[in-house]
A and B are shown apart, each in its own frame.
Chain A
């Protein structure tokens, strides 16, 4: 089918295209305007902005910890709508089905679950396969697992570490690698209660820094497109800006991605010893071109924090609201689920301001990524309101007026005039994520790209405009019309597939037999286990 989207304002920074024009789609791909072509379907986009489908690089949408959070909080996600005929279970609050639908309505077509425990890869992919419409991807967690820590302790060769990382990424169908508070979960099992970048995991004699550097080198050496995705130590602590700064300095010219930097943007000024250090971190990011970051913006309201940083989550148990938590010591990281309500009090307001400062003070939209670390800073359903804050200084001033002046006095937010343009939004949420993840087939509207297209009807109310797309195409299929889902389709999980080294597979088989009394088969699965047609789509590594 040939589709013509006409009359819209194209915003496609990857192809330096901006202004009114037509867009043509055929067989799931964007194509050049055909000579004399007659469209089978015409979409009138007059008065609309036309962008590629958005990509979220860091959103906890599926897997063991997310599901535990659902189980912990049935009172938080009751649904209130009648059964939908065309989209079964899409009214089930916080279900995988609702997640896919809500993302699609906002024009997001690809979402990365950034914390997949390798041992729970099958569970994670089953959940993602039940998340309709959007494409998904995962990052496999390494850095607290005995196998890797033992290799580092024993000075294994870089090639051997690469073999292990390659096997993990391939067997778990991941798109990249994440390290979460490197070494801390292992240290916590030995009753260590705080853990910084140069602290050492007792039984291994290996520092957090060494784990990060080892994994960074392996990811880079394997040609994994996405740089090592780092959740730093000391998340949420006053003074954590020092930790983030140390970690950035450790990049040493090799690509490194720091996740949810907002949660490290805290200084120790003021009488409460809690202040914004966002300006300092933004300056560091601006001066460190090999570093990319996502924000993890805080928005006020009830949420639940879900993290494989089990040490941090354990220490946050006292802040739980409501008062119930799950803390799990896993085979590697484990995780913790702590419900939390962000209030517009002093501390919440500092956190809110830090995120916005980072967004606005980091000058290169190709290196800063739009996230709330869903649901840790806020649910992804707050994205439209967050877009409005970034695109309007007036909106920020109105929101800030209701916050404690003492909190805002410890940040630079009120002095920042910058307002994001649609082009910058398109870079940050489309072109740059595609580049960061190595997804050349999306994030832009050039010929050959997958026809993931989001069309928004212009409105002075940015949150309204970007919260409910007029039209969304996924792989050329019109799935959203006037902000409503028309039908389901089943997206793919994007994955790398590096060849496993046979010697490493034998070694892992022996390891699992000896240490767990189980065959390695218990930790792997065939594609057919997902019970969807072609559930995965392969993405190449850099050659």
Chain B
């Protein structure tokens, strides 16, 4: 099976690797964007250091909001298992990724076995108009402060919980307050998918306030599982989350400067290496750059200087991935690996060509 192309021409993987290494070696400002498993991330970061690239996750904007919450303010969070077993009041804040509907349905329709209440009460803050499908008939109360946005609704909710007056009160606040008073462990579910940074911070302020007198926490459901997994690996490897660059040899974290989409749009980047775990992800708009694409594809990606066909992590080969169901990294074993190489294998090969004499860290 052909697994590499230079332009539109099928070629040996070794030749494509050498060509990609040449492109990277001659680039003045390469950028990497990826959506891959932990070992793919590790390899990509190691290569980024080698060639002085900046890197980001493909869902970088949402991930940046989530990491900014931690770097700027901090948070009170709960493990998903504990949320399932103790959360007798669930407050769904903003829209959550559709990929988690199965988990959320399980949460909404199960009972917390470690709570003496043995039931869940559900509230919605700032979600769309329709009741989320994952509720599957479970009763939920919607909270809104007029037509204000999510952050303003959370601010009003926080103020009213603290006994302060607000200009636009939250609808059904009394129901919410009564539920809070009865709950043993309220859990607020959030994601960086649609919530802005201010809303995320306001939510954490509310959770912190509630913990002054009783227990509460928040369940972080990352906008992208692979994004959060990559954030974890990036943090232990470089000290920083993605949107880190090696232009000066050492890692620098700057969520604005190393926003890969911005760098491409502004014409700062001169080469783009992109890794998609599944089908080729669309490339950010902007100046057309030489593109090295790693994706699960049967044909060369249009416009790419080099294309590598890689396997999908956890489908074509064993993988380490972040899972919201456990809130940590899990091992995924596949019954039979396909012939397609992993992203990590291809990236390591490229790294070996870029500077064969140097050590390789992973």
Interface residues of A (CB under 8 A from B): 62, 64, 67-68, 70-74, 77-83, 85-89, 91-98, 119-120, 122-123, 126-127, 130, 132, 146, 188-191, 203, 314, 324-331, 334, 337, 487-488, 515-518, 522-526, 528-529, 531
B131 within 8 A of A: no
B329 within 8 A of A: yes
Contact in complex: B328, A95 (CB < 8 Å): no
Collect the chain A residues with CB atoms within 8 Å of residue B106's CB.
517
Contact in complex: A119, B328 (CB < 8 Å): yes
Q: Which 3 A-B pairs have the closest CB atoms?
A: A83-B249, A525-B331, A324-B74
Chain B residue, CB-CB nearest to A191 = B215
Chain A residue, CB-CB nearest to B73 = A324
Interface-facing stretch out of B235-243, B265-273, B277-285, B289-297: B235-243
Contact flags (1/0) for B177-197 with A, using CB distance below 8 Å?
Answer: 000000011000000000000
Contact of A130 among B42, B85, B214, B249 (CB under 8 A): B42
Interface-facing stretch out of B22-30, B143-151, B250-258: B250-258
**Bound form: Cα–Cα A522–B76 in Å:** 24
Q: Number of B residues contacting the other chain (C-beta, 8 Å)?
A: 70
Q: Which of B81, B85, B184, B320 has the most CB of A within 10 A?
A: B81
B121 within 8 A of A: no
B84 within 8 A of A: yes
**Bound form: Cα–Cα A104–B280 in Å:** 43
Tell me the B307-336 residues at the A interface (CB within 8 Å).
Answer: 318, 320, 323, 325-326, 328-331, 333
Contact in complex: B330, A324 (CB < 8 Å): no
**Bound form: Cα–Cα A328–B81 in Å:** 12
Given A83-B249, A132-B361, A324-B73: A518 and B325 interface contact (C-beta under 8 Å): yes
Contact of B333 among A78, A81, A96, A526 (CB under 8 A): A526
Contact flags (1/0) for B62-91 with A, using CB distance below 8 Å?
Answer: 000001001111111111011011100000
Contact in complex: B46, A88 (CB < 8 Å): yes
Tell me the B166-216 residues at the A interface (CB within 8 Å).
Answer: 184-185, 211, 214-215
Chain B residue, CB-CB nearest to A132 = B361
Contact in complex: A95, B239 (CB < 8 Å): yes
Collect the chain A residues with CB atoms within 8 Å of residue B114's CB.
146, 189, 203
Contact in complex: A330, B82 (CB < 8 Å): yes
Q: Give 6 A-B contacts (CB < 8 Å), ordered by A residue.
A: A83-B246, A89-B237, A130-B42, A191-B184, A328-B77, A328-B78
Q: Report whether over half of chain B's contact residues are helix, strand or loop; otherwise say mixed.
A: mixed
Contact in complex: A531, B79 (CB < 8 Å): no
Contact in complex: A522, B330 (CB < 8 Å): yes
Contact of A518 among B39, B70, B248, B326 (CB under 8 A): B326
Contact flags (1/0) for B27-47 with A, using CB distance below 8 Å?
Answer: 000000000001100100110
Contact in complex: B239, A326 (CB < 8 Å): no
B305 within 8 A of A: no
**Bound form: Cα–Cα A528–B237 in Å:** 20
Q: Which of A62, A64, A130, A189 has the most CB of B within 10 A?
A: A189
Contact in complex: B237, A95 (CB < 8 Å): yes
Collect the chain A residues with CB atoms within 8 Å of residue B39's CB.
531
A-B Cβ contacts below 8 A, count:
190
Contact in complex: B84, A517 (CB < 8 Å): yes
Collect the chain B residues with CB atoms within 8 Å of residue A119's CB.
79, 81, 326, 328
Given A329-B79, A487-B359: A123 and B232 interface contact (C-beta under 8 Å): yes
Contact in complex: B250, A62 (CB < 8 Å): no
Given A74-B253, A191-B215: A97 and B70 interface contact (C-beta under 8 Å): no
**Bound form: Cα–Cα A67–B236 in Å:** 6
**Bound form: Cα–Cα A314–B208 in Å:** 10
B50 within 8 A of A: yes
Contact of A326 among B77, B248, B320 (CB under 8 A): B77
Collect the chain A residues with CB atoms within 8 Å of residue B237's CB.
89, 92, 95-97, 130
**Bound form: Cα–Cα A336–B247 in Å:** 34
With contacts A67-B232, A86-B358 known, what are 7 further pairs, Cβ within 8 A?
A85-B357, A88-B359, A130-B361, A325-B74, A327-B77, A337-B74, A529-B320
**Bound form: Cα–Cα A190–B329 in Å:** 27
Chain B residue, CB-CB nearest to A146 = B114
Chain B residue, CB-CB nearest to A330 = B79
**Bound form: Cα–Cα A146–B112 in Å:** 13
Collect the chain B residues with CB atoms within 8 Å of residue A85's CB.
355, 357-359
Collect the chain A residues with CB atoms within 8 Å of residue B339's CB.
none
**Bound form: Cα–Cα A488–B358 in Å:** 11
Collect the chain B residues with CB atoms within 8 Å of residue A529's CB.
318, 320, 331
Contact in complex: A67, B361 (CB < 8 Å): no
Contact of B331 among A95, A328, A334, A526 (CB under 8 A): A526
Contact in complex: B328, A127 (CB < 8 Å): no
Contact in complex: A94, B239 (CB < 8 Å): yes
Q: How far is the CB of B10 from chain A (nearest CB, A)?
A: 29
Contact in complex: B330, A68 (CB < 8 Å): no
Contact in complex: B325, A329 (CB < 8 Å): no
Contact of A70 among B76, B217, B236 (CB under 8 A): B236
Q: Which of B241, B320, B355 has the most CB of A within 10 A?
A: B320
Chain B residue, CB-CB nearest to A525 = B331
Contact in complex: A130, B362 (CB < 8 Å): yes
Given A89-B49, A328-B77: A189 and B361 interface contact (C-beta under 8 Å): no
B338 within 8 A of A: no
B136 within 8 A of A: no
Chain A residue, CB-CB nearest to B232 = A67
Contact of A126 among B38, B50, B251, B253 (CB under 8 A): B38
Q: How far is the CB of A91 from chain B (nearest CB, A)?
A: 5
Collect the chain B residues with CB atoms within 8 Å of residue A64's CB.
328
Collect the chain A residues with CB atoms within 8 Å of residue B74's CB.
72, 324-326, 337
Collect the chain B residues with CB atoms within 8 Å of residue A329's CB.
77-79, 82, 217
**Bound form: Cα–Cα A132–B359 in Å:** 12
Chain A residue, CB-CB nearest to B351 = A88
Q: Which of B38, B239, B250 has the most CB of A within 10 A?
A: B239
B156 within 8 A of A: no
**Bound form: Cα–Cα A390–B211 in Å:** 43
B14 within 8 A of A: no
Contact in complex: B71, A74 (CB < 8 Å): yes
**Bound form: Cα–Cα A95–B251 in Å:** 10
Given A126-B320, A488-B361: A189 and B250 interface contact (C-beta under 8 Å): no
B118 within 8 A of A: no
B101 within 8 A of A: no
Contact in complex: A528, B318 (CB < 8 Å): yes
B133 within 8 A of A: no
Contact in complex: A74, B239 (CB < 8 Å): yes
Collect the chain A residues with CB atoms within 8 Å of residue B328's CB.
64, 119-120, 122-123
